[in-house]
Chains A and B, each alone.
Chain A
Amino acid sequence: MLGLIKDFIDFLTTPTISFTLLTVLTPILFPPTDWFDKLSRKLKVDKLWTNKGGFVGLLLITIFMVMGYTDPNFSKILMKPDNFPIVLLIYSMFFYIWWGMKQAYENDARLAEGKKPNEYHDPDDKVLVWPDLVYIEFIALLLFMVFLIVWSLLAAAPLEEPANPASTPNPSKAPWYFLGLQEMLVYFDPWIAGIVFPMFIIIGMMAIPYMDINTKGNGYYSFKERRAGYFIFMYGWLVLWVYLIIVGTFFRGPNWNFFGPFEFWDPHKVVALNNVNLSEYIWVIGLEKPLPSNILLREAVGFLVVFAYFAFIPLALSKTLLKSMYEKYGSIRYGTLMFFGLSMLALPIKMYLRWVFNLKYIVSIPEWFFNI
């Protein structure tokens, strides 16, 4: 029985399935439109944001962890001192999202009844930064220091032997907070995944206050008043960053192959991945010709695809589905928002292209170190 459950979890965590599941689940957990909201309530997913739901969620995570710590394969990974932060991360991520969402849902109900949100205070009754806030921060700081000291006393730092350029540990993992990046590097050229995307993430987050013109939900928790933004952020943050860190920590084994959490890390596991570039698909397989020697001609279709993705989609949407939004936001704000949104979406798209079609690069010009 337990074996069956473990096999089932291993099956669920295969990248194609887990990613599809999470992608379908995110709009139900954080419904961006009325339609999803209804669906979420019909499936009773909104009950997760109550005390009972939170308890069940914590229980499920704990059962998974207990199963992990008692499993001969998974416990080896879970017990590694490097990976302890990820266990903390899973719990704290769940707890804080649950806490925020619970209060947001409560406020949404209050606002729907015409009441003021829970956090509402008489504007004349002020709370001072000093000492009220600073004291709380100071106490939190002390507690955190205590925690760090105790942790460092209990578990030795996972230092390894001196670096040796001739032997790379297998698998070779970045520090946990970079594992999302390392996972992106599997699908993209180092320039894009290592430099362009991280820059986009930082610039995009800094640009949020300028792109978000919704004035509601200031100073109190609320989901409904800014649900589309909530959903987009949660998909990018939870699925494309936090889940990728979890994947990198728990599901990537020797030779950077995928392994289910309860699977044995077999260094000889063979996964055939014959990756093909788009240009090869078109010229060699489609037209049955050799690749043209002119680089630009060879990659013309790839360039066209990328261009269409970033130019045609926003343009078409501004005329149809997102027309009202385009008018409200203006072309610059709309264009920026679209650009960052589509760049974010490029990651899961590229992942699926790799998994389903073994596609390596859409534009591949190794001669110029330019690959997309």
Chain B
Amino acid sequence: MNKDNKFIPKASIGKDKDKNGQIDRKSFIGWLSIGWLAFAAATGGYFISMIRFLFPNVLFEPPQSFKIGEPSDFEKGKVDLRFKKQYNIWVVRNDEGMYALSTVCTHLGCTPNWLSTERKFKCPCHGSGFRISGINFEGPAPRPLERYKISLASDGQVIVDKNKSFKQEKGEWEREESFLKV
């Protein structure tokens, strides 16, 4: 290839242009800054409105603290599935009392199923199994299901408060609020 044949584009901005009175370097940089500023402002505005989007005006969430009925409504040795759909909890009553288990698998957050014949919670995602107490015993789940604060209201109803959860591996199931003696 011949070197002299190379096509060299003429610079579009240069001294020869302001001779023609079109645009000089200074005003070009000025316009450029204005353009960039406008662009940054527009993007920033969009960004702010996007952030605003993360904080909705109304939140359709069930209350975190709710009454679930009287202790006598719950059978001993049974897992109560009635509150699973609305509140994501299982209520279990045994000979000593009651507790509320979270329905979130501690592995990756699927919802396990209660298998009444096998008497265990079994996760359909990777096969973790939990005993009725919430203790993990099979599959990959690294820790037991969490329990929620449970107490008795003055009208004799049981209150579950999901704002407070208790983790067995931290020894929190020993705390009084995690278990309701009845």
The interface of chain A, by Cβ under 8 A from chain B, is 164-172, 182, 185-190, 194, 254-257, 268, 270, 272-275, 360-361, 364, 366-367, 369, 371
Q: Which residues of B contact A366 (CB under 8 A)?
A: 142-143, 169
Q: Are A257 and B88 in contact (CB under 8 A)?
A: no
Interface flag for B84 (CB, 8 Å): yes
Contact of A274 among B85, B117, B137, B142 (CB under 8 A): B137
From B41-49, B94-102, B105-113, B149-157, the one touching the partner chain is: B105-113
Interface membership of B4, Cβ < 8 A? no
Interface of A is mostly: loop
- How many angstroms between the C-alpha atoms of A164 and B84 in the bound complex? 11
- The answer for the CA separation of A299 and B23 in the assembled complex, in Å, is 73
- Write the B158-182 contact mask toward A (1 if CB under 8 angstroms, else 0): 0000000000011000000000000
A168 adjacent to B142 (CB under 8 Å) = no
Interface size of B in residues (CB-CB distance below 8 Å): 29
Instruction: Tell me which of B85, B117, B123, B137 contacts A256 (CB under 8 A).
Output: B123
> What distance in Å separates the Cβ of B19 from its nearest Cβ neighbour in chain A?
42
Task: Flag if A185 contacts B140 (CB, 8 Å).
Answer: yes
Contact of B85 among A166, A273, A275, A371 (CB under 8 A): A166
Contact of A268 among B85, B118, B123 (CB under 8 A): B118
Partner of B127, one of A165, A169, A256: A256
Expressed in whole angstroms, the Cα–Cα distance for A271 and B84 within the complex equals: 26
Quick check: B140 and A166 within 8 Å, CB to CB? no
Question: Contacts of B170 on A, CB cut-off 8 Å?
Answer: 367
Q: Are A273 and B138 in contact, CB atoms less than 8 angstroms apart? A: yes
Cβ contacts under 8 Å, A256 to chain B: 123-127, 139
Name the A residues within 8 Å of B127 (CB-CB): 186, 255-257, 273
Within 8 A of A (CB), among B116-152: 117-118, 122-127, 129, 137-140, 142-143
